[in-house]
Amino acid sequence: MKFAQDIILTPVITERSMDLIRTQRKYTFKVALDANKIEIKKAVEELFKGVKVESVNVINCSGKEKRQGYHTGFTSKYRKAIVTVTKDSKTIEFFDNLM
């Protein structure tokens, strides 16, 4: 059984993600690699009370190639979810404090 804290890992805080919050009510999170859209929707609604999710878009991000001396390797791959909330739902307070 997956818990909501195991699905939603961290918020993504960039200029573009903050712009999406202000203009389109879209929040961006790093999520577990094996999480699907339905699980992400339930986890966001469970973690942030009063938030109603309209849609979820998921992006698989591959690791970037990094080099240290002679050796090359890759950073960890991750999955990113862009969650759109409905107009009548509450905002996520964590992001309100950042703006």
- Domain with 16 in it: what CATH number? 3.30.70.330
Residue 90 is predicted with a pLDDT of: 87
| Full domain range(s) for residue 34 | 4-96
For the chain, the residue count is 99
Structure tokens at 64: 């970037």
Give residue 28's Cα distance to chain centre: 4
Residue 2 is predicted with a pLDDT of: 83
Tell me how far apart the alpha carbons of residues 61 and 57 are, in angstroms, rounded to a whole number: 13
Q: What is the mean pLDDT of each run of 10 residues along the chain (99 residues)?
A: 90 93 94 95 93 96 94 95 93 80
Residue 8 is predicted with a pLDDT of: 95
Q: Which pairing describes strands 26-31 and 8-11: parallel, antiparallel, or unpaired? A: antiparallel
Residue 31 is predicted with a pLDDT of: 96
Residue 93 is predicted with a pLDDT of: 82
Number of domains in the chain: 1
Beta bridge partners of 73: 66
Tell me how far apart the alpha carbons of residues 74 and 26 are, in angstroms, rounded to a whole number: 29
Structure tokens at 95: 């992001």
Residue 37 is predicted with a pLDDT of: 95
